[in-house]
């Protein structure tokens, strides 16, 4: 599972998108959530609840553990707003040339 805050100055959305696509291409199951109002951390309590519940479900699925199925409808709605369909994900064509073709140092 990868979570990305759109306003993150350290890890850009482009970097997260590329990581998600690379994992997906290798056949690794990946859930991708994007918060449009977050940065590098999680400040909004509603986002935090949604991300923590999504992480619980992700780990429960992968590790075959217990998951709290019933949660507040606001949490479920927040997850639905954040989840990205990885099959539909495309990298922006406006990429930095040094990122697309990095030169060895």
pLDDT tens figures, 59-75: 999 999 888 888 899 99
Q: Which residues of the chain have pLDDT under 50?
A: 94-101
Alpha-carbon distance of 46 to 75, in angstroms, equals 7
pLDDT at position 103 is 52
pLDDT at position 97 is 46
C-alpha distances in angstroms, 56 versus 6, 79, 84, 91?
22, 12, 17, 28
Which tokens hold the place of 41? 């951390």
pTM for this model (two decimals): 0.80
**Radius of gyration for the chain, computed over Cα atoms and rounded to the nearest angstrom:** 15
pLDDT at position 90 is 85
Q: Domain spans of the chain?
A: 2-100
pLDDT at position 95 is 45
């Amino acid at each position: 599972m990868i979570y990305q805050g759109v306003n993150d100055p350290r890890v850009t959305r482009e970097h997260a998108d590329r990581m998600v696509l690379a994992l997906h291409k290798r056949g690794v199951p990946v859930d991708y959530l994007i918060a449009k109002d977050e940065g590098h951390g999680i400040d909004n309590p509603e986002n935090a609840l949604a991300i923590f519940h999504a992480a619980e479900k992700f780990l429960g699925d992968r590790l075959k553990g217990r998951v709290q199925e019933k949660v507040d409808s606001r949490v479920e709605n927040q997850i639905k707003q954040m989840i990205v369909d990885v099959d539909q994900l495309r990298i922006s064509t406006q990429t930095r040339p040094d990122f697309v073709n990095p030169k060895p140092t």
